[in-house]
Amino acid sequence: MTSVERQRWDVIVVGAGGAGLRAAIEARQRGARTAVICKSLFGKAHTVMAEGGIAAAMANANPHDTWQTHFRDTMRGGKFLNQWRMAELHAQEAPDRVWELETWGALFDRTADGRISQRNFGGHEYPRLAHVGDRTGLELIRTLQQKIVALQQEDFRETGDYESRLKVFQECTVTRILKEHSLKDDSGRVAGVFCYERETGRFFVLEAPAVVLATGGIGKSFKVTSNSWEYTGDGHALALLAGAPLMNMEFVQFHPTGMVWPPSVKGILVTESVRGDGGVLRNSEGKRFMFDYVPEVFKEKYAQSEEEGDRWYEDPDHNRRPPELLPRDEVARAINAEVKAGRGSPHGGVFLDVSTRMPAEVIRRRLPSMYHQFKELADVDITAEPMEVGPTCHYVMGGINVDSETAATVGVPGLFAAGEVAGGMHGSNRLGGNSLSDLLVFGRRAGLHAAEYAAGAEAGAGLPEVGEEAVAAARTEALAPFDGESFGEAGENPYTLHQELQQTMNDLVGIIRREGEMAEALERIAALRERARRVAVEGHRQFNPGWHLALDLRNMLLVSECVARAALERTESRGGHTREDRPGMDRSWRPVNLLCRTEGEGIALERVRTEPIRPDLLALFEKEELAKYLAEEELESKGLDA
Ligand code: FAD
């Protein structure tokens, strides 16, 4: 058998976005020798695309802001399905994580008196998003990379080797989590990861007692998406295959404003800052239609007239916010409904207008990327005319089930997860800006606890070993697409399979769902999985995108099945899961999480009860508001039912 090179580390971080880099920094600072591995170039993670900002209750723009208010907004945005302890830790720790970035060299936009500026975003009661124009993610990644380089320089001074304690393996993909036992065995501790180098196709194994998954989302399973090629649900699938369940995968966020024209750029994001800074949505009749779509639970918190909404930008303490700033799920559904009712824009979206709301130079200063994006990609000058926008698949709220404090996965010792790949924090719908803060808060926690776990493993039961058998099985699996030739004409093209999957998810498990369509999606996914067994790629292992996609397909198919199965099971509409045949939120589903696990070759679902929300956190809400969300038995047990 060909031998595969092995390297031993204390902690392996899979993913070099915000969550992965923050985890790696923490693990290294806690003394763990840490390897970071990422599919694309170092610094080119998804986080770099984040535009609007990072949410943290620093109270710079409004002194009334507190972590409690941020917690409340996050729970409301998630329709109370959030893992509440995560939402609490997130709200409490986000300001420190932003400050810390500044001490590492980040430079946020400032208020007139020199503090970090904070902008409005949907669902946030106060201006809360620290930002750098509309290029916040770039600054975040740049700063974390700079910190990593600084740590490597420190290590060089001590050891003569920059990479002795912190090494980045870029353009390398992990295809399997390796455990102490064989691939087929669900028990046992994590022992490492199996990887290939994209450029050469060379295989290698990184061994470590602790692995942090920070691989981001799943958007590339959908046809219209703001996500880049990296988002193929790898971490979700790796966890599933290692025996760690995924939670609440039915909740997929469709951002209300993606570009709709020209077709080549359909789905590219139009940041929510456009609305936060004063942009308004209109239909083909010129009407600001969002006033017709304020749901009952939010009625008291949003302006009833355009005049009041407009006054809010100048005087937020005495006016209510405009409904364009409702949480994303509400705005996306409203746009969808307007288009369906025949009041859409020429290319099947609605109009988003800043041109009549702000002077041209302010637009160019506050929204520079949006200005260039529309000018270059659509030949539209947003300082002079409205943009055409429509919903685009943007973010997955569902993810790996983790412990709120430690980011440890449930059931696989040594496996941790943070960032978009982890579930729970955002409930059924994420508020804008809450991802970047999530990455830093839980990235840090994952790094910290992975380092502690690794140290404990070495001192305790000893280091887990990766068996030859597991490596051989992972190698055979990765090479299988090259054997596709043996299927002759029955061989399947990975690009065709991918396109069919994207179309299926878009059409049948998209923004508005129906029972029959989801059942059909499951049949189509099963058929695609069958065909994927015969996937055939040409050429050799040196930089071969067809082969890479063939390997990614396994992950997208698994994750898509989880989304469709959970969506079919949850017979209500909540956040990023809207069912035409089950409109409205059903309170009896509030205390229910849906877990997906692998069972044989398929996916099995399990309903589990959520942990009761701590009384002091419930006390942050009015009794009347809780009565809109909590299930009857929850209200009774808290004495809130009278
Ligand atoms: P990522 O940053 O995507 O990093 C994932 C990493 O995992 C990458 O390095 C990738 O190469 C690696 N990887 C994946 N699979 C493998 C594998 N098999 N092997 C090895 N490596 C692998 N959120 C906000 O809070 N505010 C915003 O303003 C905002 N704007 C956004 C704008 C856009 C256009 C988009 C798409 C998202 C935006 N978001 C925003 C969401 C936010 O950017 C993401 O949720 C967040 O960056 C995810 O970070 P992450 O660290 O979890 O993953």
- CA 352 to CA 388: how far, in whole Å? 6
Each residue of 301-330: pLDDT tens digit?
A: 899 999 999 999 889 889 999 999 998 889
> Which three-class secondary structure string do you get for 439-484?
HHHHHHHHHHHHHHHHHHHHHCCCCCCCCHHHHHHHHHHHHHHHHH
Nearest Cα neighbor of 427 from 455, 407, 397, 391 is 397
Atom of ligand 1 at shortest distance to CA of 16?
9
Tokens of 62: 């409004």
DSSP letter for each residue of 548-585:
HHHHHHHHHHHHHHHHHHHHHH--S-BTTB-BTTS-S-
Q: What is the pLDDT of residue 1?
A: 55
Atom of ligand 1 at shortest distance to CA of 418?
52
CA distances to 157, 379, 501, 557 from 553, rounded to whole Å, are: 44, 35, 9, 6
The angle formed by the CA atoms of residues 117, 118 and 123, to the nearest 5 degrees, is: 175
Burial class (CB in 10 A: 0-12, 13-18, 19+), 563: buried
Q: What is the pLDDT of residue 53?
A: 95
Ligand 1: centre distance to CA 433 (Å): 13
List all residues whose CB is within 6 A of at least one atom of ligand 1: 14-20, 37-40, 45-47, 49-54, 136-137, 173-174, 214-216, 226-227, 230, 234, 269, 395, 419-421, 432-436, 439
Ligand 1 pocket test, candidate residues 109, 206, 234, 435, most atoms within 8 A of CB: 435
Ligand 1 atom 53 nearest Cα? 216
Q: What is the pLDDT of residue 296?
A: 87
DSSP tag of 430:
P
Q: What is the pLDDT of residue 64?
A: 96
- CA 179 to CA 176: how far, in whole Å? 9
Each residue of 96-125: pLDDT tens digit?
A: 999 999 999 999 999 999 999 999 988 999
Ligand 1: centre distance to CA 18 (Å): 7
Atom of ligand 1 at shortest distance to CA of 437?
25
What's the distance, CA 340 to chain centroid? 28
Ligand 1: centre distance to CA 47 (Å): 4
Atom of ligand 1 at shortest distance to CA of 141?
2
> Which three-class secondary structure string do you get for 220-278?
HHCCCECCCCCCCCHHHHHHHHHCCCEECCCCEEEEEEEECCCHHHCCCECCCHHHHCC
CA end-to-end distance (rounded Å), the chain: 71
Ligand 1: centre distance to CA 230 (Å): 9
Nearest Cα neighbor of 509 from 272, 296, 294, 251 is 251
Helix (H) or strand (E) holding 85: helix 84-103
Ligand 1 atom 5 nearest Cα? 215
Contacts of 42 (CB under 8 A, 6+ apart): 16, 145, 168, 170
- CA 334 to CA 257: how far, in whole Å? 11
Strand 166-169 relative to strand 34-37, pairing: parallel
What's the distance, CA 601 to chain centroid? 26
Ligand 1: centre distance to CA 239 (Å): 17
- Alpha-carbon torsion angle 512, 517, 523, 526, nearest 10: -10
- CA 389 to CA 336: how far, in whole Å? 11
Q: What is the pLDDT of residue 181?
A: 67
DSSP tag of 74:
H
DSSP tag of 26:
H
Ligand 1: centre distance to CA 122 (Å): 20
DSSP tag of 492:
B
Asked if residue 388 lies in contact with residue 335, where contact means CB atoms within 8 angstroms, the answer is no
Atom of ligand 1 at shortest distance to CA of 51?
28
- Alpha-carbon torsion angle 353, 356, 359, 363, nearest 10: 0
Ligand 1 atom 30 nearest Cα? 50
Ligand 1 atom 32 nearest Cα? 50
DSSP tag of 321:
B
Ligand 1 pocket test, candidate residues 21, 36, 44, 47, most atoms within 8 A of CB: 47
Ligand 1: centre distance to CA 45 (Å): 6
Asked if residue 455 lies in contact with residue 32, where contact means CB atoms within 8 angstroms, the answer is yes
Which sequence positions are flagged as catalytic? 255, 275
Ligand 1 atom 40 nearest Cα? 50
Ligand 1 atom 4 nearest Cα? 17
What's the distance, CA 156 to chain centroid? 35
Ligand 1 atom 46 nearest Cα? 47
ipTM of the complex: 0.99
pLDDT under 70: residue ranges of the chain:
1-2, 181-187, 641-642
Atom of ligand 1 at shortest distance to CA of 15?
7
Ligand 1: centre distance to CA 397 (Å): 13
Tokens of 11: 């902690």
